[in-house]
A and B are shown apart, each in its own frame.
Chain A
């Protein structure tokens, strides 16, 4: 063991790891928010609730269907994503011509409903979710101990983020998507079914949130409250990064997670607030956000 700025290296790297984990959730969630915002012009306030729903679905699959972590990682995002599609068809599609703020208010209402129902059935105490055997244990890297599951979370979310980026920026369907973001009427005139694309985009964004939820389940306890506080931090991340760029959302998410982790080591009192402080500073220096375009 050695020390860096008077902090034992073990503690430092440990917090860095936690920071990276939090950062991967920030990245996944702000990515989903950015994708949804791009197509629907709606800030999805229910994103935190849908993240929680992903974790809760994984928990229920394990409890009632005996399905473990790996199947849940596929099934839960599909189920919650399907719910997202229902939500878009039933509610959000009627808000197209209204002020964007109504989308925020409506999804806030949905978040309250989802949270209230989950709290009624599962209480507010955390429910433990056991790790799959294949990801138990860890390895000693010499300078720190790296639990296998945490390494997996970082690798998996980074992969999902990059695949999403590739899908949107480098494929044909992504090109349609970006075109429809810029000018939906024109894209419709070319014979592309934009409303269906909007629906599927929302479903995809929601599925991303649920995916993050399943991955979070073994780390944090599964609790109906797990989404609401996280989503506010993610909002700050989104304000800092700006929603103009997919890669920007990913980079900002991971970077802020690391900064938060480091704050826990050097100035633990501020660890809850550091992201908000950074947001305030960014607003003063670069009001459009780090990767944002001026509106």
Chain B
């Protein structure tokens, strides 16, 4: 994909070099203020989607792989986590762990198939595999078919902390989000992350330098799927529902849209993008099918007019990294 980062790095002043840290502090502060300004449940839902979009962006933004089937990991993690919490009575942290593991295993299998082809084929394969698992979810007994798994208990964190309390739940979700976000940041800035970027820029050259790019791509895919799983499992616990909406292809499209609006290949872009899209869906719910049309228009506008996305444009304008 197109490079977003400004090459004139050495000309930055001191605060510009710290731009990511400053942005992170602002984001963390916003998370503290947010539940007092708007509904905590809304913020929690948006945070789950933000994490989902960050996980997706790890692949498209830093390895250049467009997965059109991330609903598979989000949705199946959400099912397993909901089922574990409801039917097995697991505590929320174990339920989330179970969902995350499911996503990791699915990611390992789907990823090892999908990385055998490049570019557009990669997108089609991930989409097709996700659709297959959607049909499995429709057929499987434990998913509850059209009804999904409803009224999932939030339970007690570590068997101690009552999560039915909105504030306790909020702190947990915010902690999961910030922890995962820092983890993604760490991946991107690690030597491993540098290799991923090298693959994005020129895979043939990375191979010629002796990197086994398939292994790196698979690892990145599994990490992305796993983090999408964290998002899905947490969402199931927060909202108390796992349904077919979470595994179907429009969900895969939505996460692409969120990342695209915020800015592919920027660390903060997916977070901003998902808050924009979730807010839009919430405010415009009364418009019915027109929401779909609006999403389509945003897609077209983003691709034609501002491919850097909101955060990408801002970063470009201020000549900083975000």
Contacts and interface: CB of A to CB of B under 8 A. Distances in A.
Interface in A96-118: 98-102, 104-106, 108-117
A109 B298 contact: yes
A208 interface: no
Contacts of B138: 272
Contact of B119 (A100, A120, A229, A232): A100
B292 A101 contact: no
A83 to B, nearest CB: 15
A287 B299 contact: no
26 contacts: A91-B304, A101-B66, A101-B119, A104-B66, A105-B66, A105-B299, A106-B300, A109-B300, A110-B299, A110-B300, A111-B296, A112-B299, A113-B300, A116-B291, A116-B292, A239-B117, A239-B125, A239-B128, A273-B135, A276-B129, A277-B132, A280-B113, A283-B116, A284-B113, A287-B116, A287-B117
For chain B, give the interface size range.
35 or more
B295 interface: yes
Contacts of B303: 95, 102, 105-106, 109
**Complex A-B, nearest 7 residue pairs according to Cβ-Cβ distance, in ascending order:** A109-B299, A112-B296, A116-B292, A113-B296, A276-B132, A116-B293, A236-B128
A232 B125 CA distance: 9
Contacts of B288: 120
Interface range on chain A: under 10, 10 to 19, 20 to 34, or 35 or more? 35 or more
A111 B292 CA distance: 10
B120 A101 contact: yes
Contacts of A102: 303, 307
Interface of B: 1-2, 66, 68, 113, 116-121, 123-125, 127-129, 131-132, 135-136, 138-139, 249, 253, 256, 260, 288-293, 295-300, 302-304, 307
Contact of A99 (B1, B299, B300): B1
Interface string A163-189: 000000000000000000000000000
A284 to B, nearest CB: 7
A279 B128 contact: yes
Contacts of B293: 112-113, 116-117, 120
Nearest to B295: A112
Nearest to B288: A120
Contact of B304 (A94, A115, A276): A94
Given A111-B296, A113-B297, A113-B300, A101 B125 contact: no
A141 interface: no
Given A95-B303, A108-B253, A283-B125, A232 B296 contact: no
Q: Majority SS of interface residues in chain A? A: helix
Contacts of B123: 43, 101, 104
A238 interface: yes
Given A43-B123, A109-B298, A110-B300, 14 more contacts: A104-B123, A105-B299, A106-B304, A111-B296, A112-B292, A112-B299, A113-B300, A116-B291, A229-B131, A236-B131, A239-B128, A272-B139, A276-B129, A279-B128
> B interface, by DSSP: helix, strand, loop or mixed?
helix
Contacts of B298: 109
A119 interface: yes
B140 to A, nearest CB: 11
A133 interface: no
Contacts of B291: 116
A119 B289 contact: yes
A269 B138 CA distance: 11
Nearest to A43: B120
Interface string A266-289: 000100110011011001100110
B120 A100 contact: yes
Contact of A104 (B2, B113, B120, B132): B120
Contacts of A98: 2, 307
A50 interface: no
A29 B292 CA distance: 24
B121 A110 contact: no
B120 A119 contact: no
B260 A283 contact: no
Contacts of B253: 108, 112
Contacts of B124: 43, 235-236, 238-239
Contacts of B290: 116, 120
B292 A99 contact: no
A285 B128 CA distance: 18
A238 B117 CA distance: 13
Contacts of B1: 99, 101
